[in-house]
Chain A
Amino acid sequence: MVNVMVCIKRVPETSGQILLSDDAQSIDARHVGYTLSSHEECAVELAIQIAKATDGESTVLTVGSQDAVEQVRNALAVGCSAAVLVEADPAAYGPADVAQAIAQVVRAREAAGTSYDVILVGNDAADTGDFQVGVRLAYALGRPVLTGISTVEMSGDTAIAKGKGPEGTEVFEIPLPVVIAIQEGGIEPRYPSIPGRMKAKRIPIDTVSSPIEPAGTGRVRLELPPAQPSVVEVLGEGPEAAPAVVELLYRLGVVTK
């Protein structure tokens, strides 16, 4: 039995145009909504698969406000079996704070008899992209950690993890308990079904207040990069533009023959 915890973060949806709040401290997402990093969607899927394969539990956890219940319910709807909301003002929490808060909750639950053999996080959050919560969490708990992992399988007390490296697929064999940061690419997240959503509604979300005083993010303010004036030169329309395209390729030295 392998108990898995997966940590997720509610982030603004930023595929479209981005607006800043008036004080430039945050993204104004009122009109665009919220989502998860695609890395975390894969981590949620993996958590469910590992727990299923080993008859363990998959617990989703987030450090955030009550609003993040929306993302937690989505994870329950696709198959996580338990949920924890660590209530905190996410804007006040830097990556080191988030890691400390999660570590304390994990320790408290382990002291009370529920242990987590595998803790999954995303490789980097879609908003702040700090690339560090998983690693800091591992150090806080004194556990080994892998990042940039796209698939994980259990073999007894060892996790066999694979990720993309500079020379091919890198394979790791790491003893449990472990923290693993997941990268999109090896796993296909599933989408919630209606019965899944109904079932999720009945699972209680264990809400705890944050056990730590945050040190903060160091954020001075956000800025939108200066708009680049369009310099596009339209070479033409339709297939008639083909000679102009080929001419360009020769001019740029891309074709030399």
Chain B
Amino acid sequence: MSSAVLVLVETDAHRVTETSLETLTFARDLVKRRDGAQSHALLVGPVDADLRATALSQLADQGVDVVHVAQHDGLSAYSAASWATAVVAAAAASSAAVVLAPGTPRGSEIMAHVAARLDTAMAANVVAVGEVDPLVVSRQVMGGAVLELMRLTGRPAVLTVAGHAVEPASADHSTQPEVNELQMDLLETDLLGRVVRVEASELDDTAALTGARVVIGAGRGAGSANGFDGLLELTRLLGGALGVSRVVTGLGWRPHHEQVGQTGTRITPDIYIACGISGAIQHWAGCQGAKTILAINTDRDAPMVTRAHYAVIGDLHEIVPAVNEELQRRMG
């Protein structure tokens, strides 16, 4: 019997997101290891012609065989339940053995609905596949400090893929995906939990943090709510975003939307300059996706220092202003 591996693909206004490309890359390995399986992807929601064309070429590059497209009046505003209806319809249309989504807030939420509806187990934040049949996956628990090997016997198996579990990569051979316009019916109840409006607010800055190439991190070492001047100046000079530890938000020194970590934002900058942050596992969960980490800390043995690529030992209130000065001098 033919079977499929189905990926729920997230897009922004223009293209398939980076985390979705990671999930597609992750899924391709699963397809390879399941003889004769097909690779399916699902696009949901208001997908205009430009986005559709870009997404289809990205999915071709990912080696996807079939792309299901769910378009429906009821999908004009997001609701997890209606997105889940699309996933369940695509899973049926593809007789999916495994359904995956990126481990983003929406990906996790939609997959929980899917698993509840199909009465099957779900593994969140998977980083690797052990055995394929029966499926055993390795996933992050304790905010990433521990891995759990989990067996998924239900069909389809439902899972979300942790950010940075794999590097996104193109398939060896690109495909010409077949497009299936998905037929689906939405129920009144699917729409109860839809977004009625989006408010522009300080929370918008979270997006800046998620997408920033440079993040300046600040922890308890900042000392007080008034201890951020140098750090904000460095952030400005580098055109980056400020990210903080929970101690900082907990003490009310900075707003919560700046928090990086397990219960904050997960960041993926080119460089994370972590100042006065100890590097507790819950913080690490949010910053481990940084390409390079530079720690500035008084404690040579702080986990943030030992796990960083580069470090400067000393008081951030002396070091950061000196860096700012040197930067201004060189930038002219």
Please give the residue numbers on chain A whose beta carbons come within 8 Å of chain B beta carbons, in ascending order. Answer: 12, 14-15, 18, 20, 27, 37-39, 94-96, 124, 126-132, 134-136, 138-139, 144-148, 162, 164-175, 183-186, 217-225, 228, 230-246, 248-250, 252-255, 257
Question: What chain A residues lie within 8 Å of B112 (beta carbons)?
Answer: 131-132, 134-136, 147
Query: Within B256-310, which residues are at the interface with A (CB < 8 Å)?
Result: 256-257, 259, 262-264, 270-271, 280-282, 292, 294-295, 300, 305-310
Q: Which of these binds chain A: B30-38, B56-64, B146-154?
A: B146-154
- A219 to B196, Cβ gap below 8 A? no
Please choose the segment from B168-176, B177-185, B203-211 that sits at the chain A interface, where 4 or more of its residues have CB less than 8 A away: B203-211
Specify which of A15, A168, A217 lies most central, judged by the most chain B CB atoms within 10 Å of its CB: A168
Are A219's CB and B150's CB within 8 A? yes
Question: Is A147 touching B125 in the complex (CB atoms < 8 A)?
Answer: no
Query: What 7 A-B pairs come out closest when comparing CB atoms?
Result: A239-B322, A242-B322, A135-B112, A220-B149, A132-B112, A238-B314, A144-B192
Report which of A14, A20, A164, A173 forms a contact with B257, defined as CB distance below 8 A: A164
**Which listed residue (A14, A96, A175) contacts B192, Cβ 8 A?**
A175
Query: B141 near A222 (CB under 8 angstroms)?
Result: yes
Chain A contact surface mostly: mixed
> What are 19 A-to-B residue pairs whose CB atoms are below 8 Å?
A14-B143, A18-B281, A95-B122, A129-B124, A131-B111, A138-B116, A165-B198, A169-B198, A169-B203, A220-B149, A222-B147, A224-B145, A230-B307, A236-B313, A237-B314, A238-B318, A246-B330, A254-B214, A255-B238
Given known pairs A27-B142, A171-B196, the reply for A15 and B331 (CB within 8 Å) is no
**CA–CA, A126 and B141, complex, Å:** 8
Contact B200 A168 (CB under 8 A): yes
Cβ B257 vs Cβ A185 within 8 A: yes
Interface size class of B (residues with CB under 8 A): 35 or more
Given contacts A172-B195, A232-B309, A242-B325, contact A132 B116 (CB under 8 A): yes
Q: Are A174 and B121 in contact (CB-based, < 8 A)?
A: no
**Residue among A222, A233, A236, A249 with the most chain B CB within 10 A?**
A249
- Given contacts A223-B138, A224-B146, A228-B307, 7 further A-B pairs with CB under 8 A are A135-B116, A147-B109, A170-B198, A184-B256, A220-B150, A245-B294, A255-B327
Task: Point out the residue from A39, A130, A173 that lies within 8 Å of B196, measured CB to CB.
Answer: A173
Quote the shortest CB–CB distance from A84 to chain B (angstroms).
Answer: 23
Count of inter-chain pairs, beta carbons less than 8 A: 249
CB closest residue in chain B, given A18: B145
Residues of A within 8 A of B263 (CB): 37-39, 183-185
Out of B151, B238, B311, B322, which one reaches A233, CB within 8 Å? B311
Query: In chain B between 226 and 263, which residues have their CB closer than 8 angstroms to a CB of chain A?
Result: 238, 246, 256-257, 259, 262-263
CA distance A252 to B194 in the complex (A): 43
Give Cα A165 to B206, complex, Å. Answer: 9
Q: Which listed residue (B142, B152, B201, B331) contacts A127, Cβ 8 A? A: B142
- In the bound complex, do residue B323 and residue A147 qualify as a contact, i.e. CB atoms below 8 Å apart? no
A245 to B151, CA, bound (A): 46
Q: Which of B207, B310, B314 contacts A232 (CB 8 A)?
A: B310
The verdict on A185 contacting B147 (CB below 8 Å), with A131-B160, A146-B193, A237-B314 known, is: no
| Cα of A196 to Cα of B42 in the assembled complex, Å | 52
Q: Are B150 and A246 in contact (CB under 8 A)?
A: no
